[in-house]
Amino acid sequence: MNITEILLRLHQNSYYFFAIILFVIGFHTMLTHNNLIKKVIGMNIMDTAIFLFFVSIGYIRGGRAPILVPGADYLYVNPLPSALILTGIVVAVSITAYALSLIVKLYEHYGTVDAEEIMRLRGGETL
């Protein structure tokens, strides 16, 4: 497979490609950053990447919105992934809200949003 073919493949599957790149960025941010807010941001990037991936499964190039009227005959996109991801978005929002409220409480107790600092204040037990 030569370079133009790879680039062509990437172009054709660009949604999937960028979704995976975003997923890895989110995953990395979530696990490696000490700032708790950044962890939550990473979590959201990761979730959004999955949503992008999921919705693009249902997309058909040139497809229209799936509003079907009798007699109409056209190509339309698969509505199921979008409907599912609506649920996914609700879940992600609630987890974000919960995580942020925990951070507020943690800040009240420790006076910092840095995970390392919190570990140090707790008495050095690191994992």
Partner 1 sequence: MNATHHLSALAIVLPLVCAFLMPLFDRWRRGWCTPAALGALGFSFAASAAMAWQVMTAGPFYYRMGNWPPPWGIELYVDYLAVFTALTMTGVSLVILVYATKDLLHELKPGLLGWYYTLYLLLIASMVGMALTNDIFNLFVFVEICAIAACGIISIKATKECLEAAFKYLVLSALGSGCLLLAIALLYMVTGHLNFTFISQALPEAMRLYPNNILAALALLLVGMGVKAALFPLHVWLPDAHSSAPSPSSAVLSGLVIKIYAVALLKLLYQVFPPGIFEATPVLTILLWMSTMAIIAGSMFAIVQEDIKKMLAYSSVAQIGYVFMGFAIVDPSALTGGILHVFNHAMMKAMLFLAAGAFIYCTGVRRLSDLKGIGHTMPIPAAAFTIGALAMVGIPLTNGFISKWYLVLGALHGGQPVFASVILLSSLLNGVYYLPIIVNAFFGEPQGRVAEPRPLPRQMQVPLVVLGVGCLLFGLFPSLILGLASRASQALLGL
112 C-beta neighbours (distance < 10 Å), count: 16
Query: Cα–Cα distance between 36 and 111 in angstroms, integer?
Result: 13
Q: How far is CA 72 from CA 1, 64, 69, 110, in A?
A: 42, 12, 6, 62
Segment interacting with partner 1, rule: CB under 8 A, options 7-15, 21-29, 59-67, 69-77: 21-29
Assess 1 for contact with partner 1 (CB under 8 A): no
Query: Cα–Cα distance between 60 and 32 in angstroms, integer?
Result: 36
Assess 30 for contact with partner 1 (CB under 8 A): yes
Question: What is the token pair recorded at 37?
Answer: 């807010």
Write out the binding residues for partner 1, residues 46-75 only, by CB under 8 A.
Answer: 46-47, 50, 53-54, 57
The residue ranges that bind partner 1 (CB under 8 A) are: 23, 26-27, 30-31, 36, 39, 43, 46-47, 50, 53-54, 57, 81, 84, 87-88, 91, 94-95, 98-99, 102-103, 105-106, 109-110, 118, 122, 127
